[in-house]
Amino acid sequence: MTAVAKALPGRRSLRAWIPAGRVALAVAFFALWQMGSEMLGKEWLPGPVLTCERIWSLVMTGQLARDTLVTFGEAALGMAIGGIGGALLPFLLRLSPRLMKALEPFLMAAFGVPKLALAPLFILWLGIGMPTKVVFVASIVFFLMFYNGMAGVLSIDPRLVAMARVAGAKHWVISREIVWNTTMPFLFAGLKIALPRSLSGAVVGEFIAADAGLGWYINNSRSLNDTTGVLAGVVVVTTLVILVNAALQKTQVRALAWRPMSRDMTI
């Protein structure tokens, strides 16, 4: 029972309807999907049964496993490179507040540019193999980790640092105690957002440039007007991302500022 449901005022009997309502909604969704498919034709909207059949055949031929591995590999590598770089830079920048202030508008501009727009450039330079996707994912993760790392570094309380200095702490002790501990939660929050993003980033990167991987499969199916293939691929990617998200949920509360606050709905 989600926190939103638990916090509902009113009689217990009303609350009992909620899981039933959710199941009913899911059933209705699949029913509508099937009906829509029959009405619009399977070239336009393949039904749930057709999509599952396609996914199954992909599993059987081993293609699903191959493509998934490719995509995961790109995501993991990009995550490692971008994550380390993006997490380190705020610590370095912290040492020169003047540089930090001066760089601000440039970083803001770079932050706003959609990384995918750089993809054709990467393709130009690196071709359509794995390095392109890795660089692409790395660029996404870098900015994510950098943004969170900066927020962490900026939140360091200078009074704590002053107190530590007065108490005689050396520079590296301050770094370890105060800087690291203050920034850690921010970096973890960034990591949790970056993980699913690196996956979807790899997929989207493959739309533009690839010859293997889940994203390639989706876009390739599109160019062949194979709607079933597109839908099957999208379902697989969506499921994977949802699973990754769910796994992360279990480990810790996600620090997404715009998530609904599970407070009491005493409105």
User: For the purposes of burial, counting CB atoms within 10 Å of the CB of 76, is it exposed (0-12), middle (13-18) or buried (19 or more)?
Assistant: middle
Binders in 155-194 for other proteins, by CB under 8 A? 155
For helices 181-208 and 227-251, give the axis angle rounded to 10 degrees: 170
Q: Binding to other proteins by residue 49, rule CB under 8 A?
A: no
Q: Binding to other proteins by residue 42, rule CB under 8 A?
A: no
Q: Binding to other proteins by residue 199, rule CB under 8 A?
A: yes
Find the Cα–Cα–Cα–Cα dihedral 103, 258, 203, 207, rounded to 10°. Answer: -80
Binders in 234-263 for other proteins, by CB under 8 A? 234, 237-238, 241-242, 245, 256-261, 263
Contact, 86 vs 144, CB < 8 A? yes
| Rounded Cα–Cα distance for residues 198 and 187 (Å) | 15
Q: Choose the stretch contacting other proteins; rule: CB under 8 A; options: 2-10, 51-59, 164-172, 173-181.
A: 2-10
221 Cβ contact partners less than 8 Å away, ≥ 6 residues apart: 227, 228, 229, 230, 232, 233
123/187 with CB nearer other proteins: 123
Q: Binding to other proteins by residue 91, rule CB under 8 A?
A: no
Q: Binding to other proteins by residue 123, rule CB under 8 A?
A: yes
Instruction: Please pick, from the candidates 64, 70, 137, 218, the single residue that binds other proteins as defined by CB under 8 A.
Output: 218
Instruction: Please pick, from the candidates 18, 50, 128, 164, the single residue that binds other proteins as defined by CB under 8 A.
Output: 18
Q: Binding to other proteins by residue 98, rule CB under 8 A?
A: yes
Angle among Cα 169, 175, 177 to the nearest 5 degrees reads 75
Q: Binding to other proteins by residue 128, rule CB under 8 A?
A: no
Instruction: Please pick, from the candidates 36, 111, 170, 211, the single residue that binds other proteins as defined by CB under 8 A.
Output: 111
